[in-house]
Structure 1
Amino acid sequence: MASKTEKLLSLLDGQPVIPVLKIDRVADAVPLARALARGGLRVIEITLRTADALECIRRAAGEVEEAIVGAGTILDARQFDEAAAAGSKFIVSPGVTRELLAAAGGSEVPLLPGAITPGEIMTAREAGLDFLKFFPAEQAGGAAFLKSLASPFGGMKFCPTGGVSAGNARDYLGLPNVICVGGSWVAPDDLVKAGKWDAIEALAREAATLRKG
């Protein structure tokens, strides 16, 4: 698991914001991925929250060479395998289960599982994971709660997602135990539906400047 964490971190390559995308129309997948990549956000997460999510992953991964496409909202081993087969370079889940850990253990595709409680974090740590999704971040206590985890879990790093926005992203990125944040604000539904790719590119370019430090 540790080597896969390193693989995931290398894919991120210092990107501060991971776009979390819910794509309703397959036709939007490729231009959306291209717009985000042009803005500096090459790594994207397409969530399995729509009927055509796997096809969106397949098209974005297959047609946008500059994009690094991952799959989110993975709940079980079947979805893990389907997302990996569709071309996902990484898998994100809202929580951590033994089934998902087993699926990840048999795959070259790295897993970023969600955890918010000390028990969940310890379960992931026992499995050899030290990079986790902190979800839902704002609802679970926000940056203050995540900061309180830095001391007892000194070796653990997080990607907070859920309620993270342009307004509070820096609060999270300033924490010593945060690698990046996940957010949907860089691709608002209204801009996607209107096909305003230039506007999305501009939002991505702005988000890409939210470096740690």
Structure 2
Amino acid sequence: MTSKTDNLLATLKLQPVVPVIIIDDAKSAVPLARALVAGGLKAIEITLRTPAALDAIKAVADEVEGAVAGAGTVLDGRQWDLAVKAGSRFIVSPGAGTSVLDAADQSDVPLLPGTATATEVMTVRDRGYSVMKFFPAEQAGGAPYLSALSSPLSGIQFCPTGGISLKNAKDYLSLPNVICVGGSWVAPKAMVTEGNWDGITKLAREACELLG
């Protein structure tokens, strides 16, 4: 677990925000990822919420130099296997179901398991995890909630995701138990649809400069 944790931390520490993106058309994955990497955001979470997601992960993993492709919204062992075969170098789940945790135990690919309560954090901690996703961050209590957890659960580090934007990201990043945040604002759906890759690079660079 230690080596996988180290690998995950190395990925999450690449940047202050991990883009959380939904790909409707796999053809947009490579130019989108290149735009994000050009702006300084190398680790990219592609969520398994569309039929194009696995093809998108494979394309980014195979074709985008500097990108660290990960799979998000992984719900079970079957999806885990598909995501890893596609080239995912890290896996993110919205929660911490037994199927996902069991798949992670059998894999060299690191998992960022989702938690939202102190009990969930402790349960996942018992499985050997010290780095977790806090989701949905804003709806589950936001930065004040994570701040309250920092003392009693001092050994746990988080990547909050859900409702985070450039406006409130610093509230999270200022906490001692937050490594980075996850957010979709750096790759707005409208810009992806339009193919506005320069605009996405600008947003990515802005995030790195203002939050790094």
Scaled to the shorter chain, the TM-score interval is over 0.9
* 1:2 CA displacement: 2.7
Code of the aligned partner of 1:157 = Q
Name the SS of the counterpart of 1:137 in structure 2.
coil
Residue aligning to 2:53: 53
Secondary structure, aligned partner of 2:133: strand
Counterpart CA distance in 2 for 1:61 and 1:210 is 28
Aligned to 1:40: 40
1:109-153 superposed Cα distances (whole Å, 9 cap, x missing partner): 000010011111011111110000000000001100111010110
How far does the alpha carbon of each residue in 1:19-74 deviate from its partner, in whole angstroms, 9 at most, with x for none?
00001111100000000000000000000011110000010111002100000000
Could you tell me the percent identity over the aligned residues? 60
Residue in structure 2 matched with residue 183 of structure 1 by the alignment: 183
Q: Look up the match of 1:11.
A: 11
In 1, the alpha carbon distance for the partners of 2:37 and 2:53 equals 19
Aligned residues: 212
Contact 2:161 2:183 in 1 (8 A): yes
Gaps of at least 5 residues in structure 2 are none
Cα deviation digits, residues 161-204 of structure 1 (max 9, x gap): 00000100000000000000000000001100000000000000
* TM-score normalized by the length of structure 2: 0.98
SS in 2 for 1:171: helix
> What pairs up with 1:1-213 in 2 under 5 angstroms?
1-211=1-211
Per the TM alignment, residue 18 of structure 1 is displaced from its structure 2 partner at its CA by 0.1
Provide the TM-score with structure 1 as the length reference: 0.97
Do the aligned partners of 1:2 and 1:129 also contact (CA within 8 Å) in 2? no
C-alpha contact (below 8 Å) 1:160/1:178 kept by paired residues? yes
Equivalent pair of 1:2/1:130 in contact (CA under 8 Å): no
State whether residues 8 and 110 of structure 1, in contact with CA within 8 Å, keep that contact through their aligned partners in structure 2. Answer: yes
Residue 12 (structure 1) shift: 2.8
Q: Is the 8 A contact 1:130 1:157 kept in 2?
A: yes
* CA shift in 2, pair 1:210/1:110, >3 Å: farther
Q: Contact 2:39–2:201 at 8 Å: present in 1 too? A: yes
Structure 1 unpaired stretches of 5+? none
Query: How much does 1:105 deviate?
Result: 0.8
CA RMSD of aligned residues (A): 0.9
SS in 2 for 1:138: coil
CA contact (8 A) 2:157 2:179 kept: yes
- The residue type equivalent to 1:101 in the other structure is L
Structure 2 residue identity aligned to 1:98: T
- CA–CA separation in structure 1 for the residues paired with 2:131 and 2:59: 28
Q: Secondary structure at the residue paired with 1:151?
A: coil
- Higher mean displacement: 22-31 or 3-12: 3-12
Could you tell me whether the CA contact under 8 Å between 1:16 and 1:210 is conserved in 2?
no
Residue 9 of structure 1 and its aligned partner are, at CA, apart by 0.9
